Amino acid sequence: EVMGRAARREVHARKLLHDFREDEKTTPPTMERGFPREAALLKFLDSKLPGRYGVGSGVVIDRHGGQSKQCDVVIYDDERTPRLSTDRPMAMAIWPFEFVYAVAEVKSKLTRAALGEAVANIAAFKRLKRPVNNLLGGGGVYHYSEPQNAALGILIAHEWGDDLKPADATFE
């Protein structure tokens, strides 16, 4: 029997929640609370996204000197992205904006303060400037087109905070 789309989403959500809880059990007390959730989400996305996409974390920069804040999750073009980081564990990665499709903020508990911080972090990412894709055309004729893919910001929260209800988090 073919599983429906809603059923598949439910299976994925349960798997991610299970991974969150398992990683929480093994996180040292000195580590940030959200770290296991970020690690579980990175692992989950890496296993679900097609091979041309990579996942990581770090800061996104544009060619005009702009930069995002620290991003919990960065989804990028794994085939074309130059590596601007070291291989040292826990080293900050720097991602060129031209090759980044999306960023996600991961919150253990979505409070009003955490929501404000997440929105500010995503807004810093979305303020970066994409170059105009001027390599379209053929036969030596090139023309300018719209900027490359739009920047996508995502907020993922494990649970609602006491000071925030789902209806409070809607935006126009």
CA distances from 50 to 8, 37, 55, 63, 140 (A): 17, 21, 11, 27, 33
Contacts of 132 (CB under 8 A, 6+ apart): 144, 145, 146, 147
Give the 3-state DSSP-derived string for 98-114, with helices as H, strands as E and coil as C.
HHEEEEEEEEEEECHHH
> Higher confidence at residue 21 or residue 90?
21
How far is it, in rounded angstroms, from Cα 110 to Cα 24? 17
- Is the torsion defined by CA of 69, 70, 76, 79 positive or negative? positive
Tell me if residue 97 falls in helix, strand or coil.
helix
Closest of 89, 108, 103, 100 to residue 130, by C-alpha: 100
Q: What is the pLDDT of residues 114-138, one digit of tens each?
A: 999 999 999 999 999 876 655 555 5
Q: What is the pLDDT of residues 46-105, one digit of tens each?
A: 888 998 999 999 999 998 999 999 999 999 988 888 776 656 554 568 899 988 999 999
How far is it, in rounded angstroms, from Cα 144 to Cα 133? 6
DSSP 134-165: --EEETTEEE--SBSS--EEEEEEEEE-TT--
